[in-house]
């Protein structure tokens, strides 16, 4: 039955991609792209950098298995898995299962792959909350009537220590669940710190997309405003994780968060949403092509880069 799994996964991704395309207004996409022109490539480069930083974070979570797959190949595996998560009613669960399946082609056992994926996901959540808390502190410090500097606001806030404490106990809890988690937690703590660092960079660089979009559309926002908006949208997307492509969820999140940072108006959030959807569509197509070219129906040698 194993030989039928990959073709079934591919067929499912293609069907849901067709659904995604049906819900895409290409006329509006074209009009929005004309507003930014060649600068749209900056959005693609920004998201590529964020995706690759997320890949490096995950690679450190592989522990002693990290040498069995190159960062480039792991980027392909991660991106295909994230694409499957978007085009799958099972959402994140389905995407992570695809990653485990593809890592088997590189000689990484399911238990080790699963442990690294769960650890990487936990670290992503921890660093997301930290980055969101820091961005929120800088955002609130600019509000009228607040005279506390961002640094002191962070110092007085219980958010950061609570997140760090929850993260520490969460990782310790995972360590007690399997030998793979224990090995990562006890013997690879330096690697886990690197994983946290690159995961945090992943969120910061990802926030540049909102920053560039708003700048390109004539709204000179600060980086902390853009980062706060992006973090807020991520929370909306997590809430709608079982909706293929988060159709409608991300758009609503864009509307709410742009209003929150003082940029209301239907025209702006609609255009920003279309540009983000165009970027997402580009990467989805790339993920489907990657799966078809690299993994559909053939074994990838471990030494292949």
In a domain, 12, yes or no: no
CB pairs under 8 A, 24+ apart, for 239-245?
241/85, 241/91, 241/92, 242/89, 242/90, 242/91, 243/91, 244/16, 244/19, 244/20, 244/86, 244/87, 244/88, 244/89, 245/16, 245/19, 245/20, 245/23, 245/86, 245/87, 245/280, 245/284
Q: How many domains would you assign to the chain?
A: 1
127-169 pLDDT tens trace: 888 888 777 777 666 665 555 555 555 555 666 677 667 776 7
> pTM of this prediction?
0.79
Q: How far is it, in rounded angstroms, from Cα 198 to Cα 144?
A: 34
Predicted confidence (pLDDT) at residue 175 exceeds the cutoff of 50:
yes
In a domain, 18, yes or no: no
User: How confident is the prediction for the chain on average, in pLDDT?
Assistant: 76
Domain range enclosing 194: 36-290
Highest mean pLDDT among 26-35, 276-285, 295-304: 276-285
Predicted confidence (pLDDT) at residue 246 exceeds the cutoff of 70:
no
For residues 95 and 22, the model is more confident at 95
In a domain, 120, yes or no: yes
Tokens of 52: 């690759």
In a domain, 2, yes or no: no
Contact, 174 vs 119, CB < 8 A? yes
Predicted confidence (pLDDT) at residue 48 exceeds the cutoff of 90:
yes
Contact, 214 vs 62, CB < 8 A? no
Q: What would you report as the CA-atom Rg of the chain, rounded to the nearest whole angstrom?
A: 20
Closest CA to 20 of 295, 231, 292, 282: 282
In a domain, 30, yes or no: no
63-101 pLDDT tens trace: 788 888 999 999 999 999 888 877 765 556 778 888 988
In a domain, 189, yes or no: yes
Tokens of 143: 């509000």
Tokens of 288: 């489907």
pLDDT more than 90, % of the chain: 12
In a domain, 295, yes or no: no
pLDDT value of position 78: 93
In a domain, 204, yes or no: yes
Give the list of residues 6+ apart from residue 7 with CB closer than 8 angstroms, or none: 296, 297
Predicted confidence (pLDDT) at residue 304 exceeds the cutoff of 50:
no
191-245 pLDDT tens trace: 888 999 999 999 999 888 889 988 888 888 888 888 888 888 877 776 655 555 5
Contact, 63 vs 191, CB < 8 A? yes
Task: Flag the least confident range among 28-37, 117-126, 270-279.
Answer: 28-37
């Amino acid at each position: 039955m194993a030989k039928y799994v990959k073709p079934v996964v591919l067929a499912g991704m293609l069907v849901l991609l067709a659904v995604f395309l049906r819900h895409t207004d290409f006329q509006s996409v074209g009009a929005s792209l004309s507003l930014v022109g060649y600068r749209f490539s900056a959005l693609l480069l920004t998201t590529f950098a964020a995706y690759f930083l997320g890949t490096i974070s995950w690679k450190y979570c592989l522990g002693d298995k990290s040498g069995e797959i190159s960062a480039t190949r792991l980027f392909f595996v991660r991106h295909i898995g994230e694409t499957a998560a978007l085009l799958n009613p099972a959402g994140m669960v389905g995407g992570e299962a695809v990653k485990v399946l593809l890592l088997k082609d590189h000689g990484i056992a399911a238990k080790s792959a699963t442990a690294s994926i769960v650890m990487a996901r936990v670290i992503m959540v921890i660093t997301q909350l930290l980055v969101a808390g820091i961005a929120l502190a800088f955002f609130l410090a600019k509000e009228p009537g607040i005279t506390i500097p961002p640094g002191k606001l962070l110092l007085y806030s219980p958010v950061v220590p609570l997140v760090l404490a929850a993260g520490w106990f969460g990782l310790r809890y995972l360590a007690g669940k399997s030998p793979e988690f224990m090995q990562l937690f006890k013997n690879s703590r330096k690697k886990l710190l690197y994983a946290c660092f690159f995961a945090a960079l992943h969120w910061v660089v990802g926030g540049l997309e909102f920053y560039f979009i708003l700048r390109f559309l004539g709204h000179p926002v600060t980086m902390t405003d853009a980062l706060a908006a992006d973090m807020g949208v991520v929370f909306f997307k997590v809430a709608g994780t079982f909706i293929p492509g988060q159709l409608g969820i991300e758009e609503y999140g864009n509307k709410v968060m742009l209003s929150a940072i003082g940029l209301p108006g239907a025209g702006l959030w609609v255009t920003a949403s279309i540009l983000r959807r165009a970027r997402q569509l580009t990467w989805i197509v790339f993920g489907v092509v990657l799966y078809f070219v690299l993994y559909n129906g053939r074994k990838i040698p471990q030494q292949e880069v």
